[in-house]
Structure 1
Amino acid sequence: MIEFVASSRLFNLHTHHTTYQFLIDPNGFLLHTYYGRRCGGDSFGYLLRQADRGFSPNPREAGRDRTFSLDTQPQEFPAVGVGDFRTPVLEVENADGSCAADLRYVSHTISSGKYALEGLPAFYGEEGEAETLEVLLRDPWTGLEATLYYGVFPQLDLITRAVRFQNGGSQPIALTRAMSACLDLGRMDLDLITFDGYHTGERHPCRQAVRPGLQQISSIRGITSHQHNNFVVLCQKDAGETHGLCYGMALVYSGNFEANVERSQFGDVRLTMGISPWHFRFQLAPGEVFTAPEVAMTCSGSGLQTMSQNFHRAIRHNLCRGWWKTRRRPVLLNTWEAAYFDFDQQKLLEIASSAAETGVELLVMDDGWFGERNDDYEGLGDWFVNLKKLPGGLAPLVEQINAMGMDFGIWIEPEMVSEKSRLYQEHPDWALQIPGRPSTRGRSQLVLDFSREEVWRSVYAQIKKVLESANITYVKWDMNRSLTDVWSGALPAQRQGELYHRYVLGVYAMLEQMITDFPKILIEGCSGGGGRFDCGMLYYTPQIWASDNTDAMDRLLIQYGTSFCYPTSTVGSHVSASPNEQTGRRTSLQTRAVVAMSGTFGYELDPRKLSEGERSQMRAQIDEFKRFYHLLQDGDYARLTNPFRDQEFTAWQHTAPDRSEALVSVVAGMARSNAPFRTVYPRGLDPDMIYQVDGWGCFRGDTLMYGGIPLPQGGGDYQSWQFHLKKV
């Protein structure tokens, strides 16, 4: 619920459990007053205190009053050059060369439903689900306008923010920093949690104290990156899974980003998030518009688990969309680790036949089916079937696989081009390259200039013909390198700073076109695994390959960190061969499946090489996944242990929203001689409800939560168990 109190010029944004509040001061500045547990609506403006602070300047309107300075006030949308020396969200270059922006309140509107952003992904909500607040600010000296958008989802405890800039003046203005949100929290002793890592080791939580000065994570790779995710948490020092005040903020965007946490000289904490200002310069002629991407925020007064569950529900139901939003995802087998580039139609049919016997529902033909693609040095950009490998094209192959009872999917990498390809020979200028400089290769490939509509439309036209040629129900959209040599022949020199953002808009435009033309195709996002795992991509691809590392024990770490923002239903996770290709580690087929079930679930191996006993296990695992799908994909997720700290075992839980059923999953670490007894403690059960636990007994919910479930002893390294709790 959005409330405006005219007498005090106060905005209250209420969700079921939280209140977000700011006000318009007498000079038209927006000052932030509160974000936390839900309150009745009284103004927190009494906390806005003023004092004469040395070297903190005062606006002209203050006259001889030296006590008011933007440098010391909590602001809703701070700009540069007018007295606040903390990290701003807006920087500009005005026509006269100055860099000041002085944004003042003009007007506001409140409406039912959720705003949408043209060309950009965003959470959505119908009338009754969400409300929108628009606040118009204007710089009276240049005419630059900023419309602040707030989307309020009361039942989800979610607030979204975005900004639309328009040059309302008569001279050109360039935006050099145009971030989406600022959260000024006052003097608080907080920890910052970021989710960092590397290729094959993404989204590992890093928790550190907020210290004086600036702490920053960012990406300038053109994608979200394996190194840092564009989701961060601020929380009280003692906050844990079930207690403490926590703030989560996620950027709904898939390109360069920056998140800053700054503790000022007076102990105030500011969090800003948005597009990275690195090599960003967006020029606005009079009347032109720029829209910054959306940020989603939630606040929990009861710990990290509630914060995560808020995001999970919102992403599942108000960000993911389309045919596959709530449908059960098919159990798939991807051919990459089974065949790599070395396959033909006969080999694919043999793999498919073996997979079909185990209950696999979808066969995915990975890299190597197109152009002259026999290795990763050639073929990208030539999206037509390699008739040497598949003599009849896709249609007869797909028909035979469909006859086995399976659907069929393909791998694509539309944003890339090989120098050894027809596309590059015909259009070398379509690749990102700086004139007069040698190109930088990544994975032996170049990046296509998707900021140019003719480029992505040409690539899409090829892929569309392929998708129309056979009964294809799944596409894996990959992207296997960072952006370098970022220069476009379609932009003049003074607008090259727009290229990174325009590239992302081109990717979104092609994805939207594909969804429009093929609404029932399931698209899985990928960027060398988890390099572009973000809310922006989830608007188009309801699941994303979480990491190229399929080792079950490493995946415990990756999926643990991922769970802080992203729901299980979005996490691409497969059972691969043992020993694992990335680590050489050996784990049981059961353990690999238990880990993969906390994702979309599938296989990344050659089923022909499995024993009959292992194939029988596969059939049972697929049946179990289907049996527990409603819990695994739609249940409330809880982290019962921390695998970075708790070495004996890792445990997590999926619980039905009505608490009538739960699935507790456990994976043990390395075996120890004479090991102590181990117990796992479920969470979130109904204390008065009686639960049947896998046929070995009936217990009250409080007994199970406080007494725990004893784990079996022995059995070797990396044992695993699943405990199904169901109301009697």
Structure 2
Amino acid sequence: MPIQFDEKTHCFHLNNPQMSYVIGIEKERYVTHRYWGNTLPSYVGSNHLQFIDRGFATNPFPEERTFSLNTLPLETSTQGNGDHRIANYQIRAQAGHTITDFHYDSYRIFAGKEAIPGLPSVRATTDVTTLEILLKDSVQQLEMRLIYTLFEKYPILTRRAVYTNVGEATVVLENAGSMSLDLAESAFDLLTLDGSHTNEANLTRQTIRPGIQRLESTRGTSSPQHQPFLALVDRYTSEFQGNVFAFHLVYSGNFIAQVELEQYGTTRVQLGIHPDHFEWHLAPMEQFDTPEVVLNYSNQGLNGMSQNFHQLYQQHLVPTAWKNKERPILLNTWEANYFELSETALIKQAEKAASVGIELFVLDDGWFGERHSDDSSLGDWVVNQEKLPNGIHGLAQEVHRLGMDFGLWFEPEMISKQSQLFQDHPEWALQVPDYPLTEGRQQLVLDLSRTDVQEYLIATLTDYLKTGEIDYIKWDMNRHLTEVGSHFFAAHQQKEIGHRYVLGLYRILDVITQQFPNCLFENCSSGGGRFDPGMMYYMPQTWTSDNSDALCRSVIQYGYSYLYPPIMMGAHVSTTPNHQVGRNTPLETRGWLAMSGNFGYELDLQTLSDEELAIVQQQIVFYQAHRQLFQFGRFYRLQAPDTHFASSWLFTNEEEAIAIYFNGLSRPALPTKYLKMHYLEAAAIYEEVATKQRYSGAELNQAGVLIPRVKEDFHTHVFHWKKISDPRTSVSS
């Protein structure tokens, strides 16, 4: 059994071939953390707890001055009775106090994994086992369930908490954290992914210091500023070696992720919904389910961590219909047209796209209402007949006639003041009485906490999708939330609106994606503004960044690869000079960057020369021939972007391998560079496609390949090998 309870040691041992996680029950009351790391054949408690009479420590058992909740390594915090470290939850009683006293009551172990009502979570029906630990506060008649699911094939477990009121009085959740964990170590570095719009997913590595380090979003979404992720790594950990303890929250709204190095060397990690601007009134017999956290252990460095995330998310998070389905090569009209659309011009673009092998033609913003700029018409999802006299139906038919799929852009969550919808339903926007409505891009946010707004959006999208003419939806969201209030709910519920907004969004996505499982949905929020596991549960890919510059994208895609496989990252070849930074980069380099994600184009093909069109066609043919490798192969980082933006990564599967080296900015006196592959099969033989030279995987891994010096900015070196023998067979080299 992957999860066992030892009556002698009072410990739960969650164990698979790659990882062990041990939970103890202390004094039959407190749930403690005992071990997380490499798999153990058994656990009997060699690392037993030490109890010391500490100054300023309070004692739940007065006669035991060495026993204090402030030093006990816990699996959930306590509230108001001695644990002064960062809290995982806070509950306010009707009397106004915020004291609780949860004690261990019982446990349940069962095969499988239960879905979370109203929330996305990692999908699993087999090869998982769940432990549920029940704690009770007998004074207020409250229950807390700590839920752990162990994946038997990955060094992964998920955690969440459920808070239930079984008493007779309503209580208020002021903080509803998903998990808390105390590690009896302090020699860690903290890894986070931080950034901004058009500059997402920058890796930050800093030493854990005494006190609290936290990252957060109170913007209404997970945000481009901070990914809802953190990792603790040993000081020597690199891409290729060392221990990693990683945490990723499956949620798309306000979040907090924090680490506290406390006075005696314990490191507490806590993740969940951000407690600022949050409350939840928990009536008698009601429960509150928290979002899930993915806990990922690697003893093979950061690439090992990434492999765990990549495999888990692609096989167990994205919609089932898309986990093994190839993604089409697309052309998006945005940077070619912006709001200047006409049916005639679009058909000409589609014809050119079809001629070079494009498989999906996507009409972006500007096709509806009086949408001639970004200051109007959001919410009025009616085709502009002057631009498209034959409607979406006519354009889709033409695109299908050319042998391509057809895609369409929506921004369903937004409403413009200059729209008929706002004139009819001003109360549908998020708002607080008597305060002005703050606009972003001259648009407001629809109140998705309201069921009538949810039903409107479900009906609107259904009307477009039920014809079967739309094969792809780009779902955009281009501002953060302000005036987070709702006419629909009572005054005492206004601090619930932020979370209710996210629940409303998830309900809409759940209904639509289940009704139209074969429509490919792409998540977007001005690029990576809401790139998180919660959205990936409904949409199997995300537009990675509004910054399509190849040099910038080499850093952004590198950063996101710590968590997400390339197939989840939309990446397009755009025009030069680049519209975001004005840089000129070679078409070949732009192509290799885009092929390193979910491949597409975002430019007017009609403006390209015959030579450039030939390169585009070659790129498409190559990608189609090796799509399985790029989309479903294993992806490894070989060199992080340096100060000159040189970086490298590797794709490999059972048939072939491609290593791509971006040399970034050219520089003088360049040292000789040998790039080591690290992850090819050591005993296998690989033949280089260009030269027919054969090498062992061991040689390519350890000796590496020479990176020739090129006096040119943004040059790309590509190494392509076919695997011609398997170590399990006898083949002469």
TM-score higher than 0.5: yes
Quote the offset at 1:74 in angstroms.
0.5
Superposed, 1:500-579 pairs within 5 Å as: 500-579=498-577
When structure 1 is superposed on structure 2, of 380-389 and 539-548 the one drifting more is 380-389
Partner of 1:651: 648
Partner of 1:710: 706
Which amino acid counterpart does residue 213 of structure 1 have in structure 2? G
- Does residue 661 in structure 1 map to residue 660 in structure 2? no
Which amino acid counterpart does residue 85 of structure 1 have in structure 2? H
Q: Tell me if structure 2 keeps the 8 A contact 1:34–1:44.
A: no
Partner of 1:99: 98
Q: Tell me if structure 2 keeps the 8 A contact 1:381–1:418.
A: yes
Q: Tell me if structure 1 keeps the 8 A contact 2:457–2:508.
A: no
> Which runs of 5 or more structure 2 residues have no equivalent in the other structure?
725-733
Which amino acid counterpart does residue 650 of structure 1 have in structure 2? S
Which amino acid counterpart does residue 104 of structure 1 have in structure 2? H
Which amino acid counterpart does residue 702 of structure 2 have in structure 1? Y
- Name the CA distance, whole Å, in 1 between partners of 2:407 and 2:645: 39
Partner of 1:4: 5
Quote the offset at 1:470 in angstroms.
5.3
Superposed, 1:666-681 pairs within 5 Å as: 666-673=661-668, 675-681=670-676
- Name the CA distance, whole Å, in 2 between partners of 1:222 and 1:207: 26
Which amino acid counterpart does residue 34 of structure 1 have in structure 2? Y
- Does residue 199 in structure 1 map to residue 194 in structure 2? no
When the two chains are superposed, the root-mean-square deviation of aligned CA atoms in Å is 1.3
When structure 1 is superposed on structure 2, of 611-620 and 523-532 the one drifting more is 611-620
- Name the CA distance, whole Å, in 2 between partners of 1:506 and 1:187: 40
Which amino acid counterpart does residue 96 of structure 1 have in structure 2? A
Cα deviation code 1:295-350 (max 9, x no counterpart): 00111112111011001000000101232221110000000001000011111101
Q: Tell me if structure 1 keeps the 8 A contact 2:77–2:87.
A: yes
TM-score normalised to structure 1 length:
0.98
Partner of 2:294: 296
- Name the CA distance, whole Å, in 1 between partners of 2:468 and 2:308: 40
Which amino acid counterpart does residue 89 of structure 2 have in structure 1? L
Quote the offset at 1:197 in angstroms.
0.5
3-state DSSP of counterpart to 1:639: strand
Superposed, 1:568-607 pairs within 5 Å as: 568-607=566-605
* Sequence identity percentage: 42
Quote the offset at 1:184 in angstroms.
1.0
| Cα gap change, 1:673 to 1:302, in 2 (>3 Å) | closer
Which amino acid counterpart does residue 388 of structure 2 have in structure 1? L
Cα deviation code 1:664-705 (max 9, x no counterpart): 111112223454433221121122211101231111111112
Partner of 1:446: 444
- Name the CA distance, whole Å, in 2 between partners of 1:296 and 1:391: 49
Which amino acid counterpart does residue 459 of structure 1 have in structure 2? L
- Name the CA distance, whole Å, in 2 between partners of 1:719 and 1:423: 50
- Does residue 695 in structure 1 map to residue 690 in structure 2? yes
| Cα gap change, 1:676 to 1:301, in 2 (>3 Å) | closer
3-state DSSP of counterpart to 1:156: coil
- Name the CA distance, whole Å, in 1 between partners of 2:635 and 2:258: 28
Partner of 2:249: 251
- Does residue 121 in structure 1 map to residue 120 in structure 2? yes
Quote the offset at 1:46 in angstroms.
4.2
- Name the CA distance, whole Å, in 1 between partners of 2:695 and 2:50: 55
3-state DSSP of counterpart to 1:159: strand
Q: Find 1:372's aligned residue among 370, 373, 376.
A: 370
- Name the CA distance, whole Å, in 1 between partners of 2:467 and 2:343: 16
Q: Find 2:281's aligned residue among 276, 280, 283.
A: 283
When structure 1 is superposed on structure 2, of 254-263 and 677-686 the one drifting more is 677-686
Which amino acid counterpart does residue 537 of structure 1 have in structure 2? M
Superposed, 1:161-176 pairs within 5 Å as: 161-176=159-174
- Name the CA distance, whole Å, in 2 between partners of 1:686 and 1:365: 43
Quote the offset at 1:715 in angstroms.
5.1
Partner of 1:154: 152
Q: Tell me if structure 2 keeps the 8 A contact 1:384–1:466.
A: no
Partner of 2:23: 22
- Name the CA distance, whole Å, in 1 between partners of 2:341 and 2:114: 48
How many residues align? The count is 722
3-state DSSP of counterpart to 2:321: coil
Partner of 2:412: 414
Quote the offset at 1:648 in angstroms.
6.6
Q: Tell me if structure 2 keeps the 8 A contact 1:191–1:210.
A: yes
Which amino acid counterpart does residue 124 of structure 2 have in structure 1? G
- Name the CA distance, whole Å, in 1 between partners of 2:552 and 2:66: 54
Which amino acid counterpart does residue 660 of structure 2 have in structure 1? S
Which amino acid counterpart does residue 708 of structure 1 have in structure 2? G
> Which runs of 5 or more structure 1 residues have no equivalent in the other structure?
none
| Cα gap change, 1:509 to 1:45, in 2 (>3 Å) | farther
When structure 1 is superposed on structure 2, of 191-200 and 96-105 the one drifting more is 96-105
- Name the CA distance, whole Å, in 2 between partners of 1:96 and 1:7: 41
Which amino acid counterpart does residue 125 of structure 1 have in structure 2? A
Quote the offset at 1:491 in angstroms.
1.4
Which amino acid counterpart does residue 241 of structure 1 have in structure 2? E
Which amino acid counterpart does residue 2 of structure 1 have in structure 2? I
Which amino acid counterpart does residue 539 of structure 1 have in structure 2? Y
Q: Find 1:432's aligned residue among 430, 433, 457.
A: 430
Cα deviation code 1:619-664 (max 9, x no counterpart): 1111221222222222222111110x363721101121x5x53111
Q: Tell me if structure 1 keeps the 8 A contact 2:675–2:707.
A: yes
- Name the CA distance, whole Å, in 2 between partners of 1:312 and 1:649: 24
Which amino acid counterpart does residue 620 of structure 2 have in structure 1? I
- Name the CA distance, whole Å, in 2 between partners of 1:505 and 1:178: 15
Superposed, 1:3-152 pairs within 5 Å as: 3-44=4-45, 46-59=47-60, 62-127=61-126, 129-152=127-150
Which amino acid counterpart does residue 683 of structure 1 have in structure 2? H
Q: Find 2:304's aligned residue among 291, 303, 306.
A: 306
Which amino acid counterpart does residue 480 of structure 1 have in structure 2? N
Quote the offset at 1:87 in angstroms.
0.5
| Cα gap change, 1:446 to 1:45, in 2 (>3 Å) | farther
Which amino acid counterpart does residue 649 of structure 1 have in structure 2? A
- Name the CA distance, whole Å, in 2 between partners of 1:322 and 1:394: 28
TM-score normalised to structure 2 length:
0.97
Superposed, 1:490-505 pairs within 5 Å as: 490-505=488-503
- Name the CA distance, whole Å, in 1 between partners of 2:583 and 2:625: 29
| Cα gap change, 1:169 to 1:552, in 2 (>3 Å) | same
- Name the CA distance, whole Å, in 2 between partners of 1:6 and 1:680: 53
Partner of 2:729: none
Quote the offset at 1:33 in angstroms.
0.4
